[in-house]
Structure 1
Amino acid sequence: MKFSLVMMALLLVFSCKLKTLTGTVVRVADGDTFTLLVDGNRQVRVRLHGIDCPERGQPYSRVATGHLRTLLAKGNIRVTEMDTDRYGRTIGIVYASGVNVNESLLANGLAWHSSAFDRNPVWVELEALAREQRLGLWAERNPVAPWDWRKTRR
């Protein structure tokens, strides 16, 4: 009985294999969105999963964008696709030369963890540590979450 349950679980895990993209970055739009060139000439817009960086006009927006550019410039970009958003962008966990880009932005205080879309306890802790150390946007007196900032712009 236990053996068959284990085998069923393993089959489920392997059948739910996540799709991975690799390519070259051709444009960085902001701190959590970029365009990846895959298969030689197909462009894919990628939005980082589970995080939200400051919007243009918010404090630390340019810093977050610069940090993303620096990480992606290292090359060897790999995106683990998690979903597609309503704008058709690929939502993914991004690795640049083995560095988890999503986690780097959180750890450096350049992004909020989007707990509505992600329940990763490691990412919750990364944000908490950045807040505690007052890194990046957490050095601000009253940082405004991008989702709240966007509501005021509509």
Structure 2
Amino acid sequence: MKRLGKLFFVLLIGTSGLVLAQIKAKVIGIKDGDTILVLDKNNNQTTLRLAEVDCPEKGQPFGKNAKQLTSNLVFGKEILYYKTTSDRYGRIIAKVYFDKDQYLSEEIIKKGLGWWYYQYSNNENLGVLESKARSLKLGLWSGSETISPWEWRKKKREASQLKAKAKLSGNSLREIAR
């Protein structure tokens, strides 16, 4: 029996790394629909990128609407968040909960102002909520031409690269003409 107790204790400690740390913070800024600025109990500011959702970018249709929704839901409120990972920009990717148990990413998707970021999520319930918002033509689904933020960013990068190449080619031609 004593061995079983030790084994259970070792298993408990061994799996404790899988438990996500819960952090309490106050939302002090909204950068866009899926990025917020929080202040923790030690007055440290942290930028959080919401997990499992991708909202329209600032220049995209409904980008301002997504930012406003996020602001209406959490600005000035105490939230709980769980860090899932970090992104290439150093932001913490987090699951954010407000008003006791409301999951912010889920609320954004329900209202039709964000895509389920299925590439980085296995929460199929979010896909169901997105499908429902689409069928009800809520938010960004009200128009016929919606482009996902990841496709929009890709097109913007490609256009920027083409512009840079054209500028470089133009300079080379001018130098040859001299």
Q: What TM-score results when the alignment is normalised by the length of structure 1?
A: 0.89
Letter in 1 for 2:105: N
1:74 and 1:96 in contact (8 A); partners too: no
Give the deviation of 1:30 after TM superposition: 0.3
Tell me: higher relative CO, structure 1 or 2? Use CA pairs within 8 A at least 6 residues apart. 1
Aligned to 1:23: 25
Which of 1 and 2 has greater Rg?
A: 2
- 1:50-105 Cα offsets, whole Å, 9 max, x none, are 11000011111111100000111362211111111111111011111122111000
Count of aligned residue pairs for this structure pair:
151
Letter in 2 for 1:118: S
Give structure 2 stretches of 5+ with no counterpart. Answer: 158-178
4+ runs deviating over 2 angstroms = 7-15
Aligned to 2:142: 139
2:51 and 2:105 in contact (8 A); partners too: yes
Aligned to 1:60: 62
CA RMSD of aligned residues (A): 2.0
Q: Which has the higher helix share?
A: 2
Identity %, equivalent residues: 33
Give structure 1 stretches of 5+ with no counterpart. Answer: none
Letter in 1 for 2:112: G
Aligned to 1:149: 152
Letter in 2 for 1:145: S
| TM-aligned CA distance change 1:126 to 1:9, over 3 Å | farther
Deviates more, 1:106-115 or 1:10-19: 10-19
